[in-house]
Amino acid sequence: MTQSSVGVSVDGKDWVVLNASPDIRSQMANSVDMRPRGVRHTPMRAVVLTNGDIDHIAGLLTLREKTAFTVFATSETASVLEDSPVFGVLDRELVSFAPVVLGQEFSPLPGLKVLPFAVPGKVPLFMEGDDLDLKAMGEQTIGLRLTALGRVMYYIPGCAEIPDWLLDKLADADLLLFDGTVWMDDEMQRTGTGKKSGGRMGHISMTGTEGSLARFAGLDGCRKVFIHINNTNPVLQPDGPERAEVQAAGWTVAQDGMRIAV
Protein backbone atom coordinates (compact mmCIF):
# COMPACT_ATOMS: atom_id res chain seq x y z
CA MET A 1 0.00 0.00 0.00
CA THR A 2 2.99 2.27 0.55
CA GLN A 3 5.54 2.66 -2.23
CA SER A 4 6.49 -0.43 -4.17
CA SER A 5 8.95 -2.78 -2.49
CA VAL A 6 8.71 -6.55 -2.21
CA GLY A 7 10.77 -8.94 -0.12
CA VAL A 8 11.42 -12.43 -1.51
CA SER A 9 12.90 -15.40 0.33
CA VAL A 10 13.38 -19.08 -0.37
CA ASP A 11 14.13 -20.18 3.21
CA GLY A 12 12.59 -17.38 5.30
CA LYS A 13 16.01 -16.35 6.59
CA ASP A 14 17.81 -14.64 3.72
CA TRP A 15 15.93 -12.05 1.68
CA VAL A 16 16.20 -10.10 -1.55
CA VAL A 17 14.28 -6.83 -1.89
CA LEU A 18 12.77 -5.86 -5.22
CA ASN A 19 13.14 -2.07 -5.48
CA ALA A 20 14.17 0.08 -2.54
CA SER A 21 11.28 2.46 -1.94
CA PRO A 22 11.44 5.66 0.14
CA ASP A 23 9.21 3.84 2.65
CA ILE A 24 11.61 0.94 3.11
CA ARG A 25 12.66 1.81 6.67
CA SER A 26 9.13 1.51 8.02
CA GLN A 27 8.37 -1.46 5.78
CA MET A 28 11.35 -3.40 7.12
CA ALA A 29 10.70 -2.32 10.71
CA ASN A 30 7.15 -3.64 10.46
CA SER A 31 8.30 -7.01 9.13
CA VAL A 32 9.52 -9.53 11.71
CA ASP A 33 11.46 -11.37 8.99
CA MET A 34 13.47 -8.29 8.04
CA ARG A 35 14.56 -7.24 11.53
CA PRO A 36 18.25 -7.49 12.47
CA ARG A 37 19.34 -10.47 14.54
CA GLY A 38 22.44 -8.77 15.90
CA VAL A 39 24.56 -5.62 15.73
CA ARG A 40 24.99 -4.41 12.14
CA HIS A 41 23.04 -7.40 10.88
CA THR A 42 20.41 -7.52 8.19
CA PRO A 43 18.66 -10.54 6.64
CA MET A 44 18.58 -8.58 3.36
CA ARG A 45 21.24 -9.93 1.04
CA ALA A 46 20.42 -8.04 -2.15
CA VAL A 47 18.32 -5.38 -3.83
CA VAL A 48 17.12 -5.81 -7.42
CA LEU A 49 16.10 -2.63 -9.24
CA THR A 50 13.61 -2.58 -12.11
CA ASN A 51 14.27 1.05 -13.09
CA GLY A 52 15.77 4.29 -11.84
CA ASP A 53 12.57 5.96 -10.63
CA ILE A 54 12.88 7.81 -7.32
CA ASP A 55 10.26 5.54 -5.75
CA HIS A 56 12.50 2.57 -6.53
CA ILE A 57 15.97 3.86 -5.65
CA ALA A 58 15.56 6.45 -2.86
CA GLY A 59 15.38 3.71 -0.23
CA LEU A 60 18.99 2.80 -0.97
CA LEU A 61 19.98 5.88 1.00
CA THR A 62 18.32 4.34 4.05
CA LEU A 63 20.25 1.09 3.53
CA ARG A 64 23.68 2.66 4.00
CA GLU A 65 24.22 1.71 7.63
CA LYS A 66 27.41 -0.32 7.19
CA THR A 67 25.80 -3.63 6.34
CA ALA A 68 26.75 -5.66 3.30
CA PHE A 69 24.42 -6.33 0.39
CA THR A 70 24.48 -6.42 -3.41
CA VAL A 71 22.61 -4.11 -5.77
CA PHE A 72 21.52 -5.76 -9.02
CA ALA A 73 20.74 -3.27 -11.79
CA THR A 74 20.97 -2.85 -15.55
CA SER A 75 23.81 -0.65 -16.78
CA GLU A 76 21.34 2.15 -17.49
CA THR A 77 19.86 2.07 -13.99
CA ALA A 78 23.29 1.65 -12.40
CA SER A 79 24.47 4.77 -14.24
CA VAL A 80 21.66 6.75 -12.57
CA LEU A 81 23.18 5.88 -9.20
CA GLU A 82 26.77 6.37 -10.30
CA ASP A 83 26.06 9.79 -11.80
CA SER A 84 24.47 11.09 -8.58
CA PRO A 85 27.00 11.97 -5.85
CA VAL A 86 24.43 11.39 -3.10
CA PHE A 87 24.56 7.63 -3.70
CA GLY A 88 28.24 7.77 -2.86
CA VAL A 89 27.14 7.23 0.75
CA LEU A 90 26.83 3.54 -0.13
CA ASP A 91 30.14 2.14 1.11
CA ARG A 92 31.55 0.23 -1.86
CA GLU A 93 33.56 -1.95 0.50
CA LEU A 94 30.25 -3.34 1.72
CA VAL A 95 27.73 -2.59 -1.04
CA SER A 96 28.64 -4.26 -4.29
CA PHE A 97 27.00 -3.69 -7.66
CA ALA A 98 26.22 -6.60 -9.98
CA PRO A 99 25.22 -6.10 -13.62
CA VAL A 100 21.82 -7.19 -14.85
CA VAL A 101 21.77 -8.17 -18.51
CA LEU A 102 18.44 -8.54 -20.27
CA GLY A 103 17.68 -12.16 -21.02
CA GLN A 104 20.44 -13.48 -18.76
CA GLU A 105 19.44 -15.26 -15.56
CA PHE A 106 21.13 -14.44 -12.26
CA SER A 107 20.83 -15.71 -8.70
CA PRO A 108 20.64 -13.10 -5.89
CA LEU A 109 20.00 -15.84 -3.31
CA PRO A 110 20.76 -19.56 -3.23
CA GLY A 111 17.87 -21.38 -4.83
CA LEU A 112 16.37 -18.25 -6.40
CA LYS A 113 16.83 -17.43 -10.09
CA VAL A 114 15.82 -14.15 -11.69
CA LEU A 115 15.37 -13.53 -15.41
CA PRO A 116 15.16 -9.83 -16.38
CA PHE A 117 13.33 -8.71 -19.51
CA ALA A 118 12.37 -5.38 -21.03
CA VAL A 119 8.81 -4.07 -20.83
CA PRO A 120 7.40 -0.91 -22.44
CA GLY A 121 8.28 2.14 -20.36
CA LYS A 122 10.16 5.41 -20.18
CA VAL A 123 13.21 6.84 -18.47
CA PRO A 124 12.85 8.28 -14.94
CA LEU A 125 11.12 11.64 -14.64
CA PHE A 126 14.32 13.48 -13.75
CA MET A 127 16.02 12.16 -16.91
CA GLU A 128 13.30 13.15 -19.37
CA GLY A 129 14.34 15.24 -22.36
CA ASP A 130 12.70 16.68 -25.44
CA ASP A 131 12.85 13.36 -27.28
CA LEU A 132 10.83 11.08 -24.99
CA ASP A 133 9.63 7.59 -25.87
CA LEU A 134 6.84 6.65 -23.46
CA LYS A 135 6.87 2.98 -24.52
CA ALA A 136 10.55 2.40 -25.09
CA MET A 137 11.93 -1.13 -24.94
CA GLY A 138 15.32 -1.41 -23.29
CA GLU A 139 17.13 -1.30 -19.97
CA GLN A 140 15.22 1.68 -18.56
CA THR A 141 12.16 -0.39 -17.48
CA ILE A 142 12.31 -4.10 -16.84
CA GLY A 143 10.19 -6.92 -15.48
CA LEU A 144 11.47 -9.85 -13.46
CA ARG A 145 10.70 -13.56 -13.71
CA LEU A 146 11.61 -15.25 -10.42
CA THR A 147 11.78 -19.01 -10.01
CA ALA A 148 12.37 -21.14 -6.92
CA LEU A 149 11.28 -24.59 -5.82
CA GLY A 150 9.55 -25.15 -9.14
CA ARG A 151 7.31 -22.07 -8.83
CA VAL A 152 7.23 -18.95 -11.02
CA MET A 153 6.58 -15.34 -9.99
CA TYR A 154 6.59 -12.21 -12.15
CA TYR A 155 7.17 -8.71 -10.79
CA ILE A 156 6.29 -5.83 -13.14
CA PRO A 157 5.60 -2.65 -11.12
CA GLY A 158 5.89 -0.34 -14.13
CA CYS A 159 4.51 -1.05 -17.60
CA ALA A 160 3.18 1.31 -20.26
CA GLU A 161 1.53 -1.27 -22.51
CA ILE A 162 0.56 -4.95 -22.56
CA PRO A 163 1.54 -6.35 -25.96
CA ASP A 164 0.59 -9.87 -27.04
CA TRP A 165 4.11 -11.18 -26.47
CA LEU A 166 3.89 -10.21 -22.80
CA LEU A 167 0.62 -12.12 -22.41
CA ASP A 168 2.31 -15.17 -23.89
CA LYS A 169 5.33 -14.74 -21.63
CA LEU A 170 3.24 -14.69 -18.46
CA ALA A 171 1.41 -17.91 -19.29
CA ASP A 172 3.60 -19.93 -16.89
CA ALA A 173 3.04 -17.61 -13.90
CA ASP A 174 2.00 -18.93 -10.51
CA LEU A 175 1.98 -15.36 -9.18
CA LEU A 176 1.88 -12.02 -10.99
CA LEU A 177 2.56 -8.70 -9.25
CA PHE A 178 1.63 -6.06 -11.82
CA ASP A 179 1.48 -2.29 -12.26
CA GLY A 180 -1.76 -0.96 -10.77
CA THR A 181 -0.85 2.73 -10.71
CA VAL A 182 -4.07 4.24 -12.04
CA TRP A 183 -7.67 3.12 -12.47
CA MET A 184 -8.22 5.22 -15.60
CA ASP A 185 -5.74 7.00 -17.83
CA ASP A 186 -7.00 10.54 -17.08
CA GLU A 187 -7.45 9.90 -13.38
CA MET A 188 -5.15 12.67 -12.19
CA GLN A 189 -6.85 15.28 -14.37
CA ARG A 190 -10.29 14.13 -13.19
CA THR A 191 -9.29 14.37 -9.53
CA GLY A 192 -7.44 17.65 -9.93
CA THR A 193 -4.25 16.15 -8.53
CA GLY A 194 -2.08 16.51 -11.61
CA LYS A 195 -1.92 17.21 -15.32
CA LYS A 196 -0.29 14.00 -16.53
CA SER A 197 -2.13 10.94 -17.76
CA GLY A 198 -1.18 7.46 -16.65
CA GLY A 199 0.32 6.83 -20.08
CA ARG A 200 2.41 10.00 -19.83
CA MET A 201 3.82 8.68 -16.55
CA GLY A 202 4.67 5.36 -18.20
CA HIS A 203 1.88 3.34 -16.59
CA ILE A 204 -1.03 1.46 -18.08
CA SER A 205 -4.49 1.94 -16.57
CA MET A 206 -6.53 -0.85 -15.05
CA THR A 207 -9.64 0.00 -17.08
CA GLY A 208 -10.33 0.48 -20.79
CA THR A 209 -10.13 -1.91 -23.71
CA GLU A 210 -6.33 -1.90 -23.55
CA GLY A 211 -6.16 -1.74 -19.76
CA SER A 212 -4.79 -4.49 -17.56
CA LEU A 213 -8.18 -5.88 -16.49
CA ALA A 214 -9.21 -6.44 -20.10
CA ARG A 215 -5.83 -7.56 -21.40
CA PHE A 216 -5.25 -10.09 -18.61
CA ALA A 217 -8.82 -11.42 -18.63
CA GLY A 218 -7.63 -14.68 -20.17
CA LEU A 219 -4.70 -15.18 -17.79
CA ASP A 220 -5.98 -17.99 -15.60
CA GLY A 221 -4.29 -20.39 -13.23
CA CYS A 222 -2.24 -17.83 -11.33
CA ARG A 223 -2.72 -15.38 -8.49
CA LYS A 224 -2.87 -11.81 -9.80
CA VAL A 225 -1.99 -8.89 -7.53
CA PHE A 226 -2.00 -5.18 -8.33
CA ILE A 227 0.96 -3.30 -6.85
CA HIS A 228 2.50 0.20 -7.20
CA ILE A 229 -0.91 1.88 -6.75
CA ASN A 230 -1.18 5.67 -6.89
CA ASN A 231 -3.00 7.44 -4.06
CA THR A 232 -5.57 8.74 -6.58
CA ASN A 233 -6.66 5.23 -7.56
CA PRO A 234 -10.18 4.51 -6.21
CA VAL A 235 -9.37 0.82 -5.99
CA LEU A 236 -7.69 1.68 -2.68
CA GLN A 237 -11.13 2.09 -1.10
CA PRO A 238 -11.89 -1.36 0.36
CA ASP A 239 -15.66 -1.01 0.07
CA GLY A 240 -15.78 0.80 -3.26
CA PRO A 241 -17.17 -0.54 -6.54
CA GLU A 242 -13.71 -0.45 -8.13
CA ARG A 243 -12.33 -2.86 -5.52
CA ALA A 244 -15.31 -5.15 -6.11
CA GLU A 245 -14.65 -5.04 -9.84
CA VAL A 246 -11.02 -6.07 -9.61
CA GLN A 247 -11.86 -8.83 -7.16
CA ALA A 248 -14.56 -10.12 -9.50
CA ALA A 249 -11.92 -10.19 -12.24
CA GLY A 250 -9.69 -12.38 -10.07
CA TRP A 251 -7.30 -9.73 -8.79
CA THR A 252 -6.07 -8.81 -5.31
CA VAL A 253 -4.93 -5.33 -4.26
CA ALA A 254 -1.55 -5.39 -2.51
CA GLN A 255 -1.46 -4.38 1.16
CA ASP A 256 1.41 -3.51 3.48
CA GLY A 257 2.53 -6.62 5.31
CA MET A 258 0.92 -8.98 2.81
CA ARG A 259 2.58 -12.40 2.78
CA ILE A 260 2.23 -14.71 -0.21
CA ALA A 261 3.51 -18.27 -0.30
CA VAL A 262 3.97 -19.27 -3.94
pLDDT band at 4 (very low <50, low <70, confident <90, very high): confident
Q: Could you please report the per-residue DSSP string of the chain? A: --S--EEEESSSSSEEEES--TTHHHHHHT-GGGS-SSTT--SEEEEE-S---HHHHGGGGTS-SS--EEEEE-HHHHHHHHT-GGGGGS-TTTEEEEE--TT--EEEETTEEEEEEE-SB---GGG--SS--TTB-STTSEEEEEEETTEEEEEES--S---HHHHHHGGG-SEEEEE--BSSTTHHHHHTS-S--TTTTT--BSSSTTSHHHHTTT--SSEEEEES--TT-GGGSTTSHHHHHHHHTTEEE--TT-----
User: Does residue 177 surpass a pLDDT of 90?
Assistant: yes
Model pLDDT, residue 169: 97
User: Does residue 32 surpass a pLDDT of 90?
Assistant: no
For the entire predicted model, the pTM comes to: 0.94
Model pLDDT, residue 239: 95
Is 1-118+131-142 assigned to CATH 3.60.15.10?
yes
Report, as an integer, the average pLDDT of 225-244. Answer: 95
pLDDT band at 64 (very low <50, low <70, confident <90, very high): confident
Report, as an integer, the average pLDDT of 236-250. Answer: 96
Report, as an integer, the average pLDDT of 199-214. Answer: 95
Enumerate the domain spans of the chain. 1-118+131-142, 150-262
pLDDT band at 20 (very low <50, low <70, confident <90, very high): very high
Model pLDDT, residue 102: 98
Model pLDDT, residue 213: 97
User: Does residue 159 surpass a pLDDT of 90?
Assistant: yes
